[in-house]
């Protein structure tokens, strides 16, 4: 055999050995895999395609969890809304309180100013009001002032003349012997007026007493004006 043939044979043998070794290795691996399956030590298993592992489901929330989260958010929004409403009411109440306080202050100041003005007016009126002497002259003059306001006619002279004739200027004078006294209504005061006549012709603003000199004069002059036209026209018992 030539050298070239020997070399070619050697290569062939070497390749066959490699193929045999590869086959044995593959068979061994298959055997190891086969024997690794429990309960199948003597059973031949046909090779099957290996399924690819299922892709992992994407992370997420269950419906229950989602509902709970939504409820929680709703509660938070509700709480926020209630707080905002409460804050708004608090601010509105505070503003109303400030306004009410300002109005009350303004009202109190206006009332104080009104009282002060009334007091000042009263002081001015008192300053202008004449002071009458507590005697016959003063009583007649004060009576004339009141009579003028009520349009009751009469003069100082006419009043004074009739007073001197009836009571001599004594406001406590009383007649207990004439017909009026017999009837239970004696003539009383400066101008000797009986109670029914005094009550009928009494002028508002004067005292309701026949013994009060001013009230007596004014009521008597009012009566004389209605019956005689004026006290000036009276020259005797009337």
> How do the domains of the chain map onto residue ranges?
136-233
Query: What tens digit of pLDDT does each residue of 118-147 get?
Result: 988 888 877 777 899 999 999 999 999 999
- Cβ(203)–Cβ(219) below 8 Å: yes
The angle, 0 to 180 degrees and rounded to 10, between the axes of the packed helices 136-149 and 156-166 is 130
- The whole-model pTM stands at 0.50
Confidence of residue 30 (pLDDT cuts 50, 70, 90): very low
Give a three-class secondary structure readout of 166-220.
Answer: HCCCCCCCEECCCHHHHCCCCEECCCCECHHHHHHHCCCCCCCCCCCHHHHHHHH
CATH for 136-233? 1.10.530.10
- Cβ(166)–Cβ(231) below 8 Å: no
Confidence of residue 21 (pLDDT cuts 50, 70, 90): very low
For the residues 154-163, what does the mean pLDDT come to?
Answer: 98
Query: What tens digit of pLDDT does each residue of 80-112 get?
Result: 988 888 899 898 999 999 999 999 999 999 999
């Amino acid at each position: 055999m030539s050298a070239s043939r020997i070399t070619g044979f050697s290569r062939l043998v070497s390749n066959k050995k490699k193929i045999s070794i590869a086959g044995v290795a593959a068979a061994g691996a298959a055997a190891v895999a086969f024997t690794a399956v429990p309960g199948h030590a003597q059973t031949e298993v046909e090779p099957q395609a290996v399924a690819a592992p299922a892709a992992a489901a994407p992370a997420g929330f269950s419906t229950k969890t989602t509902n709970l989260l939504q409820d929680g958010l709703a509660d938070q929004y509700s709480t926020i809304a209630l707080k905002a409403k409460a804050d708004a009411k608090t601010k509105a109440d505070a503003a109303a309180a400030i306004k009410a306080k300002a109005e009350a202050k303004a009202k109190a100041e206006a009332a104080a100013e009104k009282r002060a003005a009334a007091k000042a007016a009263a002081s001015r009126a008192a300053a202008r009001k004449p002071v009458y002497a507590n005697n016959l002259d003063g009583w007649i003059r004060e009576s004339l002032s009141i009579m003028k306001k009520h349009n009751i006619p009469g003069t100082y002279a006419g009043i004074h003349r009739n007073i001197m004739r009836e009571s001599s200027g004594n406001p406590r004078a009383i007649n207990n012997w004439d017909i009026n006294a017999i009837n239970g209504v004696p003539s009383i005061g400066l101008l000797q007026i009986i109670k029914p006549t005094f009550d009928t012709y009494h002028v508002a603003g004067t005292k309701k007493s026949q013994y009060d000199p001013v009230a007596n004069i004014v009521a008597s002059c009012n009566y004389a004006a209605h019956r005689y036209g004026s006290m000036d026209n009276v020259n005797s018992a009337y």
